[in-house]
Structure 1
Amino acid sequence: MSLYDESTTEIYCGLCSKILNPPFTNMKIYSAEYSPCLPVCQSCSKHLEKVSEVIETHNLKWAELSRKGRIWMSTSGVEKYMNENQGNIETYINIEISEDDDEVIKKDVMMGRTDPDIFEWEYHELLKRIIKKTYREDICRVLRAYCARNRNIGYCQGMSYVCMWLLVFMDHNSAFWTLSYLVEKWLLPDFYIGAKHGNSLNGFYIESSTVAGFLNKLIPSIPKCPYPAEQFSDFFSLQLLIQLFVNTVDLESCIFLWDKLMEESSVPLICGVVSLVSISDQEIRADQHPLNILKQLPERRIKNELSKEYERLKMEITKKRVEELRHQAREMRARQWKYCEKLSMKRLQKVSNLNEEEINQIAKIFEDFLQEGVRKSNRYTIKLPKAEQESFDKSNYESGIRREDFVKIISDISPHLLTSAGLIFDRFDEDKSGLLDFRELTICISIMMKGDFEDKLKICFDAYDADKSGFLQPNEMNELIESIIKPYRDIGSESTMLGALNIEDIREKLNKICEASGDILCFRDFLLAVKADPALYSCFMSHFKTDEDGIRTLSKQKTNDDRIGKSYCKNCRIF
């Protein structure tokens, strides 16, 4: 629309397109070096003044640490986290990242998908005033450094918006460590995990289910709206959660919610979304689609209303209740991998190296361990009629196998890795539930039995990267060395570990690799060094050796164990 219509002599606001005349008293002229000369209405003029106030109050300059940035780093624990970890963004910036991550970052940032013109006008106005010519490169720099640090998660769409927001308030290094802290310490462990793991955005769906639980309890209009709470939450929460409120609410409201996030960890994510639903009660009662309600939020100036509603609801949305609902949602998501068999089979074949028969063998082992867990936990439960007992047993299954069960599996398929079994368990327990669900177990066994050398070495590297820094340091390398030589020491073959190569040779070679990297060894350098040394390569190949029939053997062994000496009383679960 033209700002000046010659046929009617009407003038329109350059921001909201509202007619400004007659009279001209409700019009102001907005002019600045970073924006064109525009006629704007008084309402938009106030919003422009608010953007100016935000910039001046927090002393915002692109990719520089502001007053607000310092406060966030101090109150959230990022500053302490940064000081406890070795290295900075420069440590990671030259490390090669995966081709998939690199390609998506280029599309999302270098192709303009995170440019100021993409954002709602307040964010757009803010960015236009402070950004530099290196805007895209700055965002890529932080994202690539994070992908190098945490290759298991890598890049997920939505991170670019969060990264932009951090660079508004912080320098590159502070933004990098804040992003690391958010993803590694603050959000659910699998919040940003993508489709390459076969469980895309699992953490988001857990949070969305948690939001739905509170909506049913706290928002009276939700049970009456046309959409079930789970469906409403999935539609409404996706952008809010993945972008951590950036560009989904007005500028002041976003800063308010980030203040809460930095003060109180991840619970404000839930409380913030529920508060936004609560102040949209009128639209919900009018049966508006949740996406339409979400779309209107940036145009509304809701900071005062939001802060009041947030304070009211946080008395109900406590950390304990949030954790309980998250646990229920996590259990439900984990069980879906076992009981949605057709869908699960296709996904697991896609993300693993296993065929349908092999996945079914793992499913049998998985089910046996779950049933064994039920028998142990219900030894003194009076047996119910068959149909009710099956329902009772199923409801009492845990959603995955325990650490001790995983150790039994490892001892059967790869005895040399037994000393590392606990660490490998932690590596594949993506949601940190203390259990491996069916998907996590299947992917683990797939890599161990059919993965290539690089995949297996990556498991080993990750297992001993205790601080999850993306590097092995001398103490971590020493633990890795001990895990490799222990099986040979236990059987008394230290001097003939690999023919003429003995334990001290292995130790010396691996220590030299660590020293050559300045005692901060990244995976890429580790992989290249091991593959370049035939003796080390042979050593690790021997360490990763698996029993091709291990799964079949374990499955038969479990079946035989169930048959021998285990008869049940007809009236109870006691052996």
Structure 2
Amino acid sequence: MWLGPEEVLVANALWVTERANPFFVLQRRRGHGKGGGLTGLLVGTLDVVLDSSARVAPYRILHQTQDSQVYWTVACGSSRKEITKHWEWLENNLLQTLSIFDNEEDITTFVKGKIHGIIAEENKNLQPQGDEDPGKFKEAELKMRKQFGMPEGEKLVNYYSCSYWKGHVPRQGWLYLTVNHLCFYSFLLGKEVSLVVRWVDVTRLEKNATLLFPESIRVDTRDQELFFSMFLNITETFKLMEQLANLAMRQLLDSEGFLEDKALPRPPQPHKKISALKRDLDARAKNECYQATFRLPRDERLDGHTGCTLWTPFNKVHIPGQMFISSNYICFASKEEDACHLIIPLREVTIVEKADSSGVLPSPLSISTKSKMTFLFANLKDRDFLVQRISDFLQKMPSKQPGSSRAARKTSIADPAPESSPATQPSSPTSPLGGHQGACAQEAPTASQGLLKLFQRSTPMEDLGAKGAKEKMKEESWNIHFFEFGRGMCMYRTARTRELVLKGIPESLRGELWLLFSGAWNEMVTHPGYYAELVEKSTGKYSLATEEIERDLHRSMPEHPAFQNELGIAALRRVLTAYAFRNPTIGYCQAMNIVTSVLLLYGSEEEAFWLLVALCERMLPDYYNTRVVGALVDQGIFEELTRDFLPQLSEKMQDLGVISSISLSWFLTLFLSVMPFESAVVIVDCFFYEGIKVILQVALAILDANMEQLLGCSDEGEAMTVLGRYLDNVVNKQSVSPPIPHLHALLTSGDKPPEEVDIFDLLKVSYEKFSSLRAEDIEQMRFKQRLKVIQSLEDTAKRSVVRAIPGDIGFSIEELEDLYMVFKAKHLASQYWGSSRPAAVRRDPSLPYLEQYRIDVNQFQELFASLTPWACGSHTPVLAGRMFRLLDENKDSLINFKEFVTGMSGMYHGDLTEKLKVLYKLHLPPALSPEEAESALEATHYFTEDSSSEEALQQDEREGARNEDVQEKREEKGTSPPDYRHYLRMWAKEKEVQKETIKDLPKMNQEQFIELCKTLYNMFSEDPMEQDLYHAIATVASLLLRIGEVGKRFSARPGRKPRDIAPEEDELPAPDLPQNPARELQPPAAGDPQAKAGGDTHPGKAPQESQVVGEGGGGEGQGSPSQPLSDDETKDDLSMSSYSVVSTGSLQCEDLADDTVLVGGEARSPVTTPHCGGTVDTDWSISFEQILASILTESVLVNFLEKKVDIGLKIKDQKKVERQFSTSSDHEQSAALG
């Protein structure tokens, strides 16, 4: 490649000059290529350690002038061919021009200008638009691709200098982190270490510090443990590795590949070593943290953040913290965790202005909202830029934001104004919905209010006594809080807010506060009418999700009056169906019905819908999918926390296997299914404010409270009973709603119940004992557990697929598992390296395990070439294509693992007949495509014409028999009971798979037979018995050709004569075949000048036999007249290296390859084809039994086809090619010391 000219010193011992002229020098890096000795070893080590570009480009061209001591690099090359091309261009285009100049400075200026011009032209033509990676980084990416053989599609994210610990010895080298792989390369004094690990294979990734490995990163796969240390910035490296591993797990989970964010703003001056991908990933990490901290929509992008202070009017202080700006929100987080959080939607902002600075309040900024609240920020470093940025975002806001008027909160809960709930205004659909269900949704009372208001008793609060007074006090406390801290989305969220939540949210405010704390209110206001549209679109649509929803509707809180009638059930149906329509990836999962029914009690349908969105997509990620991955991840966290906080109980729980049983039901339903409703809803209050942390704390508190009893349990059932009875008696004594009997409590035994536990006491204990849990720590633990869970699910999928493979397939369990990993690796490689169709199309996680991974024809050809025992050289891709078409039964151009293994088994296992049957099928339609054999379609029609008429006749007979059965059944109806066992036997017989026999195989026409012979010939190349096999197949093919010719007269239908048989021969009987065809049709001996060659026969002369001659074969065939060949013909025969079998007068000339040998033989017809326009003899045919019988006469062919091949070795080789797991190579460079 051409380089921008840079100064270098020529007096360098690391380079050797190979060519020179007055203006240029071509040099090679010392030690590159053969030889080099000790100097070469030292130079190679130096290049790796210092990350020299000479490792990738060991050749260079320098520009020189006679009197100057300074030289300029103008080109480099990775190979001699590349650098020679540049050298020749310089000699042809510049040498003559440069000789004209008198001034050396002018020469150098001209050369530099010319090279810069070439580079600019190349960049203009070749550089993709938007490529902003710095030059140094591109050089590193080039090294990575060359060293590890990665394709262009593999993008480097970053690279670091570090040491890899091989045993107890550190190997200094370079760690390359790409989107899909972790790669390491080291070269020290002739010792080379090369590692490649795919992120999807990582089972463990952690940063640790031990005496042996100080401050190291550990990477585990299923096969080995790797340690890397001596990083310059280990924290940055580990975070990036975590992020890439997370992307890989997401890829395994839902087939979402990595897509670069094109909307990411470009920096004015790119960093020399940071790629665009690294910036993209850093931005993603910040966005995710921003969204999780403030419960914002998933598409919200952080624009920037800055340090500042916030004036809090409730306690009259300036709180230090960070201000975060995005396109729709201004947020503030204090440095102290509970001091203050603030979310200001820009849709609520009316005024942004710079206040007057003072010594107490430097650089202040005032923000006013529609709800008459004013927020004062100070100590802003770049206030002018910030104000301009906020103004730009405000200008992009819609002129009239739906629901914005709702921001003005009322100051008293007792106010009867309709704005008592933040979502009441936009919740009612504004457009008429189509269909009966849509109309019901618009008119239903649940469109504007929660079910609890519709079904609650009309008893005044004063009549409820102490409970009513307590509820009134809660409402008043929240009323005071709203007055001091604000109400709505712009509320100051402090430790006081948490205290009120822990004391319980009054029922009148529960729906409103759930919407605010979860962030669902933001999404609902910014998507007006979205729910109504979904209901309309999903009405009348049926799917697997809707069937499951219908099945579970009546199981959703059946003990609650709201769901004992059609009003509540219809609302629940609409919400669940709308969400399944919005997110088909999740669709519907069990436990969603229970959670949604509770949401509907406290909010309208639209509010419940958006709360469900927040729950499934943000607060409990991956919980509600087909494999409940999120719940399993948090189950692993729960087990880890149990070991940390309750070590004495942890081992006992593991032995009993209780944690895995209880945690799923607890987490998936937020305790709603295991605890009385009035108590569980208090936990839901805390969950919407605190997140998953509360669920884990309460679960630990429950185990802690029952520790003594659990330690005394002897089995899982006893432990489950203890916990179940405890949870049944967790009560909420402050609830004003009538008590709802808990279904689990109704089913328990009538033993003496344990002591009642107040839910608020349980919450208090959970915060006192386990409050050290932090959201950041939980996220870190989630990453660690996600690796384990997803890899465990992948292993389960592998075992399930292997179990689904029939037992007669022939491979062992270990071989099937290895084949599955290779098959899966090929699918995943296409997912990020490109294929004929997107991998997401080929993998649907909702399908059964067997159908999830599928490959196309190109991938199959690669696997076939490396795994097949039938190596055919250049013919292998053709054979692989035929095998793919044979296996692709549903014709979707994709095959699953079962089909793949079936094809492999046919080649590796079974007797001679089974293997030959596979080969036979590969040369019949549909395996043989029309492009490969023009007569394939014609032959198919020819050979199926009779069978189709027979099938039609059989169909008519079956129809008649069925009609008779129906008639008999009608006649007998009412007189005798039907014999169901008879019909069951008939059904079982129909379902029984009929094993294919050799009688079922159709006959093969002449062109298909020729293709079969070509395949066999290619299979024999490079075999130790190559010559014997060639002679054997020549004998067999010759015999089969004669059999086919004889059979022509019998294949003719009545009233039609075979076109290739003379009229006078029609009545002649078939000639007797030789008693020993192998001896009668022996190929000619090598070098015999009397060898026969097929050609044009003259009229009136006897036709010749067609034979296939082995390499160098000659001599005289027995039983055929001798006819001398011309010198040219003999010469051509002796020079041929491959053979085809033909019958004289029945094969087109264009069907013959250049290396085809034609040997004269007897044909049954004197009619010949004297030119290339002849057609294939469609009357000629051969059956599978005839081919099998002929091959059995040749023991060498039998031995070849029955030869056993170990697939394990081929799988190992394929794994290395696919880089399926980490491989390291230490090899001496022997030539270096030679």
User: Could you state the TM-score of these two structures normalised by the residue count of structure 2?
Assistant: 0.25
Q: Whole-Å Cα distance in 2 between the matches of residues 453 and 74 of structure 1?
A: 52
Structure 1 residues 451 and 169, CA gap change in structure 2 (3 angstroms): farther
1:71 is matched with which residue: 506, 509, 513?
513
- Partners of 2:695 and 2:776 lie apart in 1 by 14
Q: Find the partner of 1:166 among 584, 593, 599.
A: 599
- In the TM superposition, residue 176 of structure 1 has moved relative to its aligned partner by 0.7
Query: Which amino acid counterpart does residue 543 of structure 2 have in structure 1?
Result: E
Q: 1:567 to 1:307 in 2, by over 3 A?
A: closer
Counterpart Cα distance in 1 of 2:471 and 2:804: 49
Q: Quick check: 1:311 aligned with 2:311?
A: no
CA distance change for structure 1 residues 444 and 50 in 2, over 3 Å: closer, same or farther?
farther
Q: Is the 8 A contact 1:105 1:140 kept in 2?
A: yes
Alignment of 1:439-450 (within 5 A): 443=852, 445=854
1:49-448 superposed matches below 5 A? 66-85=508-527, 87-94=529-536, 95=538, 97-109=541-553, 112-117=554-559, 124=560, 127=561, 134-189=567-622, 191-194=623-626, 200-223=627-650, 225=652, 227-228=653-654, 231-287=657-713, 288-301=718-731, 302-337=758-793, 339=795, 343-346=799-802, 361=819, 363-364=821-822, 406-408=831-833, 410-411=834-835, 414=836, 417=838, 443=852, 445=854
Q: Give the 3 Å change call, closer, same or farther, for CA 55–208 of structure 1 in structure 2.
A: farther
Look up the equivalent residue of 1:406 and give its one-letter code: Q
Separation of aligned partners in 2, 1:178 and 1:299: 28
| Amino acid in structure 2 at the alignment position of 1:569 | D
Check whether the contact 2:511–2:603 (CA below 8 A) recurs between aligned residues. Answer: yes
Residue identity matched to 2:636:
S
In 2, the alpha carbon distance for the partners of 1:149 and 1:142 equals 11
1:269 Cα deviation from its structure 2 partner: 2.6
The residue number in structure 2 matching 1:494 is none
Q: Alpha carbons of 1:304 and 1:368: their partners in 2 closer, same or farther (altered >3 Å)?
A: same
> Could you tell me whether the CA contact under 8 Å between 1:89 and 1:145 is conserved in 2?
yes
Kept in 1, the 8 Å contact 2:594–2:672? The answer is yes
Q: CA deviation at 1:281?
A: 2.6
Distance 1:338 1:332 in 2: 10
Distance 1:251 1:338, change over 3 A: closer
What TM-score, normalized by structure 1, do the two folds share?
Answer: 0.51
Which amino acid in 2 is paired with 1:238? L
Superposition deviation, residue 91 in structure 1: 1.3
Distance change (3 Å), C-alpha of 1:567 and 1:271: closer
Q: In the alignment, what sits opposite 2:1225?
A: 568
Q: How far apart, CA to CA, are the structure 1 residues paired with 2:548 and 2:720?
A: 28
Give the distance between the partners of 2:893 and 2:586, measured in 1 at CA: 15
| Structure 1 residues 305 and 115, CA gap change in structure 2 (3 angstroms) | closer
Measured in 1, the distance between the counterparts of 2:893 and 2:534 equals: 21
Q: CA deviation at 1:133?
A: 5.0
Structure 1 residues 139 and 281, CA, compared in 2 at 3 Å: closer, same or farther?
same
Mapped partners of 1:349, 1:89: distance in 2: 45
Tell me the alpha carbon deviations over residues 196-247 of structure 1, each in whole angstroms, 9 at most, x when there is no partner: xxxx32322222121111112112441363x317922122222211211214
> Per-residue deviation at 1:334?
2.6
Distance in 2 separating the partners of 1:97 and 1:447: 32
Residue 34 of structure 1, CA deviation: 8.9
Gaps of at least 5 residues in structure 2 are 1-454, 458-462, 477-506, 732-757, 860-887, 895-1210, 1230-1234
Amino acid at match of 2:761: E
Shift of residue 79, structure 1, vs aligned partner: 0.5
Deviation at 1:309, TM superposition (A): 1.9
Task: Could you tell me which runs of 5 or more consecutive residues in structure 1 were left unpaired when the two chains were aligned.
Answer: 1-32, 36-45, 60-64, 118-123, 195-199, 370-400, 431-438, 457-553
Number of corresponding residues:
355
Q: SS state of the match for residue 116, structure 1?
A: coil
Counterpart Cα distance in 2 of 1:259 and 1:51: 19
Check whether the contact 1:186–1:266 (CA below 8 A) recurs between aligned residues: yes
Amino acid at match of 1:443: Q
Code of the residue aligned with 2:603 in structure 1: it is M
SS at 2:617's partner residue? helix
Q: Distance in 1 between matches of 2:658 and 2:728?
A: 19
Three-state SS of the structure 2 residue aligned to 1:289 is: helix
Letter in 2 for 1:323: E
The alpha-carbon distance between structure 1 residues 170 and 115, as it changes in their structure 2 partners (threshold 3 A), is same
Equivalents in 2 of 1:101, 1:429: separation in Å? 15
CA distance in 2, matches of 1:99, 1:561: 39
Distance 1:455 1:295 in 2: 56
Counterpart amino acid of residue 134 in structure 1:
L
Distance 1:48 1:277 in 2: 34
Task: Select the structure with the greater relative contact order (CA < 8 A; seq sep ≥ 6).
Answer: 1
Contact preservation (8 Å) 2:802, 2:817: no
Q: Distance in 2 between matches of 1:248 and 1:254?
A: 8
Equivalent residues of 1:212, 1:233 under 8 A apart: yes
Corresponding residue for residue 4 of structure 1: none
Deviations 1:524-571 (A, max 9, x none): xxxxxxxxxxxxxxxxxxxxxxxxxxxxxx999875587xxx993259
Shift of 1:50: 5.0
Q: Which has the higher helix share?
A: 1
Instruction: Give % identity.
Output: 19
Instruction: Encode CA deviations 1:357-401: one digit per residue, 9 max, x unaligned.
Output: 9986551165699xxxxxxxxxxxxxxxxxxxxxxxxxxxxxxx7
Distance in 2, Cα, partners of 1:133 & 1:49: 34
Q: Separation in 1 of the partners of 2:596 and 2:790?
A: 30
Higher strand share: 2
1:107 alignment partner AA: R
Deviation at 1:313, TM superposition (A): 4.0
CA distance in structure 1 between the partners assigned to 2:638 and 2:695 by the alignment: 9
Quote the offset at 1:182 in angstroms. Answer: 0.4
SS of residue paired to 1:157: coil
1:244 aligned partner, one-letter code? L
The structure with the largest alpha-carbon Rg is 2
Q: Contact (CA 8 Å) 1:428, 1:440: kept in 2 or not?
A: no
Q: Distance in 2 between matches of 1:218 and 1:326?
A: 18
Letter of the 1:299 partner, please give it.
Answer: N
Q: 1:155 to 1:54 in 2, by over 3 A?
A: farther
Q: Secondary structure at the match of 1:223?
A: helix
CA contact (8 A) 1:206 1:330 kept: yes
